[in-house]
Amino acid sequence: MKDVIAINSYLTEPKLFANKADLLKAISNPQRLCIVRNLSKTEKLCVNDMKACLDESQPNVSQHIAKLKAAGIIYGVREGKNIYYSLCKNDSVKTLKDLIEVLFSED
């Protein structure tokens, strides 16, 4: 009976599905997926680091960063002239990291 109650609680919380879909939507772009994967492998990256590995212009990288920040996946900390980005430390981002690890474990 507890399993039925648990399943029913998910069925009645569409906001939960919307939030999770927004997270997945944020990493559905190859460049943003690359940023999140690279950040899952290292503690922090600045825009220039990301620009080099993505072969993208600084404005394009900044747009991707803005979308990831808006989704609550990354945050930035200013250190001198640079802003270094890291993954947020919450359950949703930890789950995304696990998902990305599984996706790339087959390669």
Q: What is the mean pLDDT of each run of 10 residues along the chain (107 residues)?
A: 56 76 92 95 93 88 96 96 96 91 84
The per-residue pLDDT for 75 is 98
b/e 36-69 (16+ beta carbons within 10 angstroms → b) = bbebbeeebbebebbbeebebeeeebeebbebbe
Prediction pTM value:
0.82
pLDDT at site 53: 81
Give the DSSP H or E segment for 74: strand 74-79
Structural domains in the chain, CATH included, are: 2-105 (1.10.10.10)
**SS3 state at 62:** helix
